[in-house]
């Protein structure tokens, strides 16, 4: 990573009439980075991508690509290419001509065009299918044509809009690995939009979480998972047990003392600057929740097993923790648990993370 | 259906087929009949074909017909393609209104449009003749073309124009290389169909031709009223062959489009099959 910014959004906002699709986003994506934007449907992630591509013009703010402002430029004048969710392959052209489309528009000389198209087709492992029409290809092959058609132009930035959404699970997993390898190989900045947080985590250098048109958090996948800044991020990114409480004050080791409802005072990490009295949710990830079998339902940290589901590598245990609500635990040493078993909950202080509670809470 | 198992229906079916095809067969036979009164078989001859091809009325009628068919086809395609492109981006409500006007032009009797246009042209002093007939034919022809072209457009991914723009194509280049190119089979099929319909039209041509334009079907009509000669049969056979050939080409184009559709289904089946 050279540290040069590949895509920069400054104060970008997009309104469709009354509806605010994206509100005041600042985003800096480094050259060569695999960057993902995740969020539920309607959160504005696709609109953001379309503003980078040039299909939508921001109502406010500026878009820069490779240090050049492109806010007012149409898509055909931007050094970016897109892999569409529906692939949008040209049905009347064969694989070769689909891939060659951009180079023909750029009037690339014939010999070079042939060479580059052949290379892109090889990269996408489509050798031998040059003369096939899109409707003669499988879903996975169509996806790779879309990828080759975009990459052959050597864009500054490759934009991918849920490119794996139409594939079945097994193919998806395969393609995730291939996409990551490909990105490393070509060294082009990838901006990847998906609603699938696992998919984004498995490939990305950094992810941005969006909700209601707003950037909730930007960071490395581990940071976003381990140190969510809002309750939304905590619940959207993986499973989270959230326990409500109030900050009592700072503690040693950049931690806080938190008074948890029904459980009393505990230690938790958290973002800097939480004032005493702030309402917080303390996040304990399911894999960090320890369950100790107990004979009787006693004490505030007690719970009853609702069910235990076997998922191959680990088990997911759903718990009824009374006033604390429904909790989930995943993992180690719980194979003996059965519904209606009584357990006592515990976790290491280092595995607790306090998030300022949502305003309405 | 096995005819023996349904004797009544079978007899009816045979009668219908007989009524439909025996006259056509008679026309074909008499077009090469030496007996000019067509009472009995007088031996084979190509004489009537030669005569028909040298008849100045027939020749000018054919020229007029071709001019009208070509003009109406072009006008109809322009209307249908531009309408379809608008239709694709229109609201559901605007689409419904547009569709209604398209189907109305197919369903409503031709004679209604013909009379209406006749009075309109008189009122605005638009001269009756070839141009008037072209407009008249385009009323329903553009509707048939619209139905065919829209059917193809519905199957196109709306994102393909964005993909073209994304790959560096200006809006005009994107239209030419992607939208228009992808629609081309439907445009050809629609054009062949409208050409054929225009070629053998009588009603609209009769109302809007005035004194100056007499297309081939009206020439035939006039000849029949005067005297029935084997020449008419020869013309009939030639028109029939021409029309059948055009329809054959149209069907072939449709079949190609259809096979593309099957290919897509096969690809989907392969994809979901594993």
The answer, yes or no, to whether residue B274 has pLDDT greater than 50, is no
pLDDT at B256: 67
| Residue A24 phi, psi dihedral angles, 5° rounding | 40, 70
Q: What is the pLDDT of residues B104-138, one digit of tens each?
A: 999 999 999 999 999 999 999 999 999 999 999 99
Distance CA A78, CA A102 (A): 12
Interface of A with B in 85-144 (CB under 8 A): 85-93, 101-102, 105-106, 133, 135-140
Supply the range of the domain harboring residue A30: 5-226
- How many domains does chain A fold into? 2
pLDDT band at B257; cut points 50, 70, 90: low
pLDDT band at B261; cut points 50, 70, 90: very low
Distance from CA of A29 to the nearest CA of B (A): 20
**Residue A253 located in a structural domain:** no
Q: What is the pLDDT of residues A119-171, one digit of tens each?
A: 999 988 899 999 999 999 998 999 999 999 999 999 999 999 999 988 888 88
List of domains in chain B: 55-273 (1.10.3720.10)
**Residue A263 located in a structural domain:** no
**Residue A348 located in a structural domain:** yes
Contact A105 B167 (CB under 8 A): yes
Interface of A with B in 3-32 (CB under 8 A): none
pLDDT at A165: 84
For residue B159, list chain A residues with Cβ-Cβ distance below 8 A: 84-86, 88
Residue B11 three-state SS: helix
Rg (CA), chain A: 24
Distance from CA of B258 to the nearest CA of A (A): 12
Q: Is A304 in the same domain as A206?
A: no
pLDDT at B166: 96
The answer, yes or no, to whether residue B183 has pLDDT greater than 70, is yes
Q: Does B271 touch chain A (CB under 8 A)?
A: yes
B166: nearest CB among A53, A90, A136: A53
Q: Please state, for a pLDDT cut of 90, what percent of chain A lies above it.
A: 62
Residue where one domain finishes, among candidates A180, A198, A226: A226
Average pLDDT over residues B146-169: 92
Sign of CA dihedral A65, A69, A72, A77: negative
Average pLDDT over residues A311-318: 81
The answer, yes or no, to whether residue A194 has pLDDT greater than 90, is yes
Is residue A166 a contact partner of residue A178, using CB atoms and an 8 Å limit? Answer: no
CATH of the domain at A313: 2.40.50.100
Residue where one domain finishes, among candidates A226, A260, A293: A226
Contact A105 B168 (CB under 8 A): yes
Q: Is A219 in the same domain as A301?
A: no
Instruction: Looking at mean pLDDT, say which of A317-326, B58-67, B264-273 comes out highest.
Output: B58-67
pLDDT at A174: 86
The answer, yes or no, to whether residue A296 has pLDDT greater than 90, is no
- Angle at the Cα of A82 (from A79 to A86), degrees rounded to 5? 165
Q: Is A14 in the same domain as A90?
A: yes
Which is nearest to B254 in space by CA: B170, B152, B181?
Answer: B152
A81: nearest CB among B167, B261, B267: B167
Nearest CA in chain B to A80: B166
Q: Is A189 in the same domain as A291?
A: no
**Residue A274 located in a structural domain:** no
Q: Is A69 in the same domain as A199?
A: yes
Q: Does B159 touch chain A (CB under 8 A)?
A: yes
Q: Please state, for a pLDDT cut of 70, what percent of chain B lies above it.
A: 91
What is the side-by-side order of every strand in the sheet holding A157-161?
Answer: A80-83, A157-161, A189-194, A34-38, A206-211, A214-219
pLDDT at A354: 92
The answer, yes or no, to whether residue B233 has pLDDT greater than 90, is no
Nearest CA in chain B to A135: B264
CATH of the domain at A56: 3.40.50.300
Contact A138 B267 (CB under 8 A): yes
pLDDT band at B2; cut points 50, 70, 90: low
**Residue A251 located in a structural domain:** no
Q: Is A202 in the same domain as A287?
A: no
pLDDT at A25: 93
Contact A90 B168 (CB under 8 A): no
Contact B181 A149 (CB under 8 A): no
Q: Is A110 in the same domain as A215?
A: yes
pLDDT band at A334; cut points 50, 70, 90: low
Residue where one domain finishes, among candidates A163, A193, A226: A226
Is residue A248 a contact partner of residue A279, using CB atoms and an 8 Å limit? Answer: no
Residue B259 three-state SS: helix
pLDDT at B23: 87
pLDDT at A333: 58
Distance from CA of A213 to the nearest CA of B (A): 23
Q: What is the pLDDT of residues A92-128, one digit of tens each?
A: 899 999 999 999 999 999 999 999 999 999 988 899 9
pLDDT at A3: 55
Q: What is the pLDDT of residues A21-76, one digit of tens each?
A: 999 999 999 999 999 999 999 899 999 999 999 999 999 999 999 999 999 999 99
Q: Is A86 in the same domain as A181?
A: yes
**Residue A206 located in a structural domain:** yes
pLDDT band at B247; cut points 50, 70, 90: confident
Q: Is A58 in the same domain as A193?
A: yes
Average pLDDT over residues B215-227: 86
pLDDT at A147: 94
**Residue A254 located in a structural domain:** no
Q: What is the pLDDT of residues A228-286, one digit of tens each?
A: 999 899 989 888 899 999 999 898 888 999 999 888 899 999 988 888 889 999 999 99
| Residue B157 phi, psi dihedral angles, 5° rounding | -65, 120
**Residue A220 located in a structural domain:** yes
pLDDT at B37: 76
Average pLDDT over residues B185-197: 89
Structure-block tokens of residue B10: 């079978």
pLDDT at B266: 44
Who's near A264: CB < 8 A, 6+ residues apart?
A300
The torsion defined by the Cα of A260, A266, A272 and A277, in degrees rounded to 10, comes to 40
């Amino acid at each position: 990573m050279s540290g040069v910014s590949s895509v920069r959004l400054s104060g970008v906002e997009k309104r469709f009439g009354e509806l605010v699709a994206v509100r005041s986003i600042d985003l800096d994506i480094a050259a060569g980075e695999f960057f993902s934007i995740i969020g539920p449907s309607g959160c504005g992630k696709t609109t953001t991508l379309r503003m980078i591509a040039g299909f939508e013009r921001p109502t406010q703010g500026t878009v820069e690509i490779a240090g050049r402002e492109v806010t007012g430029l149409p898509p055909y004048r931007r050094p970016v290419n897109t892999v569409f969710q529906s692939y949008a392959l040209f049905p009347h052209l064969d694989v070769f001509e689909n891939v060659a489309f951009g180079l023909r528009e750029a009037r690339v000389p014939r010999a070079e065009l042939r060479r580059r198209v052949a290379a892109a087709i090889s990269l996408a492992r489509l050798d031998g299918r040059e003369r096939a029409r899109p409707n003669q290809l499988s879903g996975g092959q169509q996806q790779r044509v879309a990828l080759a058609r975009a990459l052959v132009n050597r864009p500054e930035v490759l934009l991918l809009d849920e490119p794996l959404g139409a594939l079945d699970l097994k193919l998806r997993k395969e393609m995730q690995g291939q996409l990551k390898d490909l990105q490393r190989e070509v060294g082009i900045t990838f901006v990847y939009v998906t609603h699938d947080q696992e998919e984004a985590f498995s490939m990305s250098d950094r992810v941005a979480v969006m909700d209601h048109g707003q950037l909730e958090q930007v960071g490395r996948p581990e940071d976003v998972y381990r140190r969510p800044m809002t309750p939304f991020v905590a619940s959207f990114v993986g499973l989270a047990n959230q326990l409500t409480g109030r900050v009592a004050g700072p503690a040693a080791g950049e931690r806080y003392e938190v008074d948890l409802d029904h459980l009393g005072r505990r230690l938790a990490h958290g973002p800097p600057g939480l004032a005493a009295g702030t309402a917080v949710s303390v996040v304990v990830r399911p894999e960090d929740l320890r369950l100790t079998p107990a004979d009787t339902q006693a004490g505030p940290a007690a719970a009853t097993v609702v069910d235990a589901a076997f998922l191959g590598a680990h088990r997911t245990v759903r718990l009824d923790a009374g006033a604390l609500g429904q909790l989930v635990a995943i993992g180690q040493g719980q194979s003996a648990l059965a519904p209606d078993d009584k357990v006592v909950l515990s976790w290491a202080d280092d595995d607790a993370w306090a998030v300022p509670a949502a305003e309405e809470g | 259906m096995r005819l023996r198992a349904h004797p009544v229906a079978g007899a009816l079916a045979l009668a219908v087929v007989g009524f439909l095809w025996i006259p056509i067969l008679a026309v074909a036979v008499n077009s090469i009949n030496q007996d000019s009164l067509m009472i009995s078989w007088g031996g084979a001859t190509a004489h009537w074909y030669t005569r028909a091809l040298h008849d100045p009325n027939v020749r000018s009628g054919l020229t007029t017909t071709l001019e009208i068919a070509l003009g109406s086809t072009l006008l109809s395609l322009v209307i249908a393609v531009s309408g379809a492109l608008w239709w694709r981006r229109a609201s559901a409500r605007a689409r419904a209104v547009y569709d209604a006007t398209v189907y109305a032009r197919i369903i409503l009797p031709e004679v209604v449009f013909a009379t209406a246009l006749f009075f309109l042209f008189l009122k605005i002093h638009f001269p009756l003749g070839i141009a008037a007939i072209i407009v008249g034919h385009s009323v329903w022809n553009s509707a048939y073309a619209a139905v065919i072209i829209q059917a193809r457009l519905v199957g196109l991914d709306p994102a393909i124009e964005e993909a073209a723009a994304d790959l560096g194509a200006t809006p005009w280049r994107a239209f030419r290389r992607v939208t228009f190119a992808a629609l081309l089979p439907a445009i050809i099929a629609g054009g062949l169909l409208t050409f054929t319909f225009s070629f053998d039209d009588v009603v609209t041509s009769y109302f809007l031709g005035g004194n100056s334009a007499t297309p081939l079907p009206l020439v035939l009509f006039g000849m029949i009223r005067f005297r029935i000669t084997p020449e008419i049969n020869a013309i009939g056979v030639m028109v029939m062959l021409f029309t059948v050939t055009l329809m054959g080409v149209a069907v072939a184009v449709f079949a190609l489009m259809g096979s593309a559709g099957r290919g897509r289904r096969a690809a989907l089946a392969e994809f979901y099959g594993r």
